Amino acid sequence: MNKQLMADAIKELVPALDLDEAKWRDAERRRKQFVLDYTRAKITVLSSDEYVIGKGPANASFCYRLERDMDDLGRILGATAFKFGIYFGSTKSDPVQTYRFSPHWGSSRSAAFIAVKQAIVDLLTAAASSNHVAVAENPISPMFKGKLLFLYFPDKYAPIYSEAHLLHFLAATDLTGDYKRGPDMQRALMTYREEFSELRTRSPLLFMRLLYQVFDAPMARTSGNKQTRVPLLDEAINGADFITKLPPQSAQVQGNGAQLGKQDFEKDQKNRKRIGNRGEEIVIALERKRLKDAKKPALANRVHHVSADDDSAGFDVLSFDADGAERPIEVKATTAGDLSRGFYITENELAKSELIANYHVYVVLSTMTKKPRIFVLEKPNLKSKKFSLRPLAFHVLLAHG
């Protein structure tokens, strides 16, 4: 679950984020006041003017406060006001200021408003009783629903409301599960948050900020440049498979490798760790499947993610052959579809490849796609003529005296 990456980020980034503690406290005060002002009972008796954007005393209506006054509790600005079911204003084609509503809520303004209020009450009732199916199937628009869930249940639902952003963070953290709706994704991220004691006592808003700083926002789709989202870990595992022959290498780096440069996953430490973690998770899942298919469920249950606990072992995963012999596996993951740029190995890993019996290197290609491919180097002699080793770094210490 990229836990080490997050743990490192917490140590590095949380002290700076803690400087916004006064901001988080003010946001929490406004959230609590909103919930007090709009209990389920009070929502049922709201008038149209007290509800819609564009009306209410000093424009301080239910929807205005939720969207504008609490913008720093997760943004839902950008989508049209139709997300609230009913609003007061104009459209691009009609400049007249009037009440407007989405027809699917009812055939009249009053009918639509009654239906919207009931849907809000039903949503909060379902969330209070952890009826996740009813929450997911509630007809309120996704962004509006997500923010309502966080405001009323901040310990259960993350303050992120775009399904594209939620999918991005679920993929980035390598969470597994069947996530079809935004509320399920919000809850999954909050469960992930509970894994870190440093985050449990801090505002969920800090957690939100941390996710954006560590994993960035998903890339936007631009005209003529369609961005492909990173698949969820389960999608990658389901599409992954072993290959017995490496794809042809790219022409520009065939031969003596004179043009060898940094691999795509070596651009920065954050991406290297993220891609490496995913490669290891894919290998672990496929090794367990291989052993279960071989009718060795007990061995499958013993497959262990060694590097998650000890990065000095010289390999990442401890698996097994069908006869029970240990199979230490070093995982090398790349976003590339071939091995044109080779892979990096540490001095420790190289030494362990010579010393440890049955050492394997699993090369994961196309790691961040829905169809990763794994090529296995069984008991490789990395110092043989079959491989070309090139020193790329030196450890320098200052001499004394």
pLDDT over 60 (residue 264): no
pLDDT over 50 (residue 74): yes
pLDDT over 80 (residue 393): no
Residue range 5-31, pLDDT digits in tens: 888 889 999 999 999 989 999 999 999
pLDDT-wise least confident of 98-107, 266-275, 301-310, 319-328 = 266-275
Compute how many other C-beta atoms are within 10 angstroms of the C-beta atom of residue 184: 18
pLDDT over 70 (residue 268): no
Mean pLDDT on 71-76? 93
Q: What percent of the chain has pLDDT over 70?
A: 91
Mean pLDDT on 126-132? 97
Closest CA to 333 of 383, 263, 269: 263
Q: Which residue has the higher pLDDT, 100 or 376?
A: 376
Mean pLDDT on 251-259? 48
Write out the two tokens for 3.
Answer: 């836990």
pLDDT on residue 143: 95
Banded model confidence at residue 266, pLDDT cuts 50, 70, 90: very low
Chain centroid to Cα 265, Å, comes to 18
SS3 99: strand
> Which residue type does 166 have?
L
Q: Specify which of 37-41, 46-50, 338-342 reaches the highest per-range mean pLDDT.
A: 37-41
pLDDT over 50 (residue 376): yes
The residues with which 364 forms a beta bridge, in sequence order, are: 333, 374
pLDDT on residue 389: 87
CB 27 within 8 Å of CB 203: yes
The residues with which 98 forms a beta bridge, in sequence order, are: 89
Closest CA to 170 of 182, 191, 185: 185
> Which residue type does 39 have?
T
pLDDT over 50 (residue 190): yes
CA 286/CA 374 separation, integer angstroms: 9
Report the DSSP pairing between strands 98-101 and 241-243: unpaired
pLDDT over 70 (residue 260): no
pLDDT on residue 78: 77
Average pLDDT, the chain: 89
Banded model confidence at residue 255, pLDDT cuts 50, 70, 90: very low
> Which residue type does 1 have?
M
In total, the chain counts a number of residues equal to 401
CA 187/CA 133 separation, integer angstroms: 13
CA 149/CA 286 separation, integer angstroms: 37
pLDDT-wise least confident of 94-103, 188-197, 206-215 = 94-103
pLDDT over 80 (residue 220): no
Banded model confidence at residue 374, pLDDT cuts 50, 70, 90: very high
Write out the two tokens for 15.
Answer: 């002290």
pLDDT over 70 (residue 397): yes
> Which residue type does 338 have?
D
Write out the two tokens for 379.
Answer: 């008991």
CA 316/CA 305 separation, integer angstroms: 6
Q: Which residue has the higher pLDDT, 208 or 391?
A: 208
Mean pLDDT on 201-207? 94
pLDDT on residue 191: 96
What are phi and psi for residue 222, nearest 5 degrees? -120, 155
The residues with which 101 forms a beta bridge, in sequence order, are: 86
How many degrees, rounded to 5, is the angle at CA 362 between CA 356 and CA 363? 140
Residue range 309-322, pLDDT digits in tens: 888 899 999 999 99
CA 176/CA 166 separation, integer angstroms: 13
pLDDT-wise least confident of 12-16, 97-101, 349-353 = 97-101
pLDDT over 80 (residue 1): no
Mean pLDDT on 25-50? 95
CB 364 within 8 Å of CB 263: no
- Is residue 51 within a helix (H) or strand (E), and if so which, with residue range? helix 48-51
pLDDT over 60 (residue 399): yes
The residues with which 365 forms a beta bridge, in sequence order, are: 373
